[in-house]
């Protein structure tokens, strides 16, 4: 029995590590170690929830709900997931990583309860969504980028027009931090570029616009 429980903890950590490895390779906020710890912790909570109170159950007037501790893992992951979500220049990032941590916790609970097949199957599906669907999305829709300009206010329409001519879809647009001394402001843009767009050529074309002083592409 003890060996089986130890194997559950190790397997939950290993499966969580696979998801964490994918996240770390993409330089995301929560990587390999975080996901391994979430998987191990969730499995241990599940084991405690199912088997940790067997010594008191024979006593009179003792009734326990084996799902209560496991249920708190779901709530607790909300706090950890929120720590990976950041707002940078009015753009929300880290939602996928937060969802990955949530799924890793679920995998740990499933493995901790002894449902090995379900846990392994869930891990495979999560990796397919994170890797295969990511590539498919970039191929069909394009890749998201953040553009940050320092430019003259009158150059903002010219930049938007240039992006429109290149058939680049724009999302969140914000103009912030106008400097009275230089007369420059910051233009933040979320764009979606198709595979045909050559970033170096786009950078040169945007920098040639009159009034554009600098451009950062992420």
pLDDT in tens, 178-197: 776 777 888 888 888 777 77
Q: Are 9 and 112 found together in one domain? A: yes
Q: Are 40 and 100 found together in one domain? A: yes
User: How far apart (Å, rounded) are the C-alpha atoms in residues 43 and 164?
Assistant: 50
Q: Rounded to an integer, what is the distance from CA 216 to the centroid of its chain?
A: 22
User: Band of the pLDDT at 11, cuts 50, 70, 90?
Assistant: very high
Q: How many CB atoms lie within 10 A of CB 1?
A: 6
Joined together, the tokens standing for residue 150 give 């320092």
Number of domains in the chain: 2
Q: Rounded to an integer, what is the distance from CA 175 to the centroid of its chain?
A: 26
* C-alpha distances out from residue 215 to 18, 175, 209, Å: 36, 14, 11
Last residue of one domain, picked from the residues 114, 140, 166? 140
User: How far apart (Å, rounded) are the C-alpha atoms in residues 196 and 192?
Assistant: 12
Q: Are 122 and 190 found together in one domain? A: no
Q: Are 148 and 208 found together in one domain? A: yes
Which pLDDT value is given to residue 18? 92
pLDDT tens for each residue of 97-133: 888 899 999 999 999 999 999 999 999 999 998 888 7
Joined together, the tokens standing for residue 14 give 């290993």
Q: Are 174 and 98 found together in one domain? A: no
Least confident of 52-66, 92-106, 154-168: 52-66
**pTM value > 0.75:** no
Q: Are 129 and 30 found together in one domain? A: yes
Phi-psi region of 117 (alpha: psi -120 to 50; beta: other; left: phi over 0): alpha
Which CATH number do you get for residue 183? 3.30.70.260
pLDDT of 29 above 60: yes
* C-alpha distances out from residue 61 to 16, 51, 52, 58, 66, Å: 39, 18, 18, 9, 16
Q: Is residue 200 within 8 Å of residue 182, measured between CB atoms? A: no
Q: Rounded to an integer, what is the distance from CA 204 to the centroid of its chain?
A: 31
- Print the domain residue range for 206: 143-217
Report CA dihedral (19, 22, 26, 27) to the nearest 10 degrees.
60
Last residue of one domain, picked from the residues 115, 140, 165? 140
User: How far apart (Å, rounded) are the C-alpha atoms in residues 212 and 95?
Assistant: 32
**CA diameter of the chain:** 83
């Amino acid at each position: 029995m003890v060996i089986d429980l130890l194997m559950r903890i190790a397997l939950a950590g290993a499966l969580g590590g696979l998801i964490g490895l994918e996240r770390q390779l993409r330089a995301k906020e929560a990587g390999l170690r975080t996901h391994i710890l979430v998987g191990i912790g969730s499995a241990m909570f599940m084991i405690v929830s199912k088997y940790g109170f067997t010594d008191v159950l024979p006593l009179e007037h003792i009734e326990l709900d084996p799902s209560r501790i496991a249920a708190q893992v779901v709530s607790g992951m909300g706090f950890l997931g929120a720590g990976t979500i950041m707002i940078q220049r009015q753009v929300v990032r880290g939602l996928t990583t937060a969802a990955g941590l949530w799924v890793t916790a679920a995998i740990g609970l499933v493995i901790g309860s002894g449902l090995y097949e379900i846990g392994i199957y869930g891990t495979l599906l999560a990796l397919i969504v994170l890797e295969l669907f990511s590539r498919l999305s970039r191929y069909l829709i394009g890749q998201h980028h953040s553009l940050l300009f320092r430019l003259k206010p009158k150059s903002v329409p010219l930049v938007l027009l240039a992006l429109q001519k290149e058939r680049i879809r724009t999302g969140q647009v914000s103009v912030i931090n106008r400097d009275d001394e230089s007369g420059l402001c910051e233009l933040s843009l979320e764009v979606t570029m198709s595979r045909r767009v050559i970033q170096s050529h786009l950078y040169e074309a945007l920098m040639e616009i009159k009034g554009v002083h600098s451009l950062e592409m992420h």
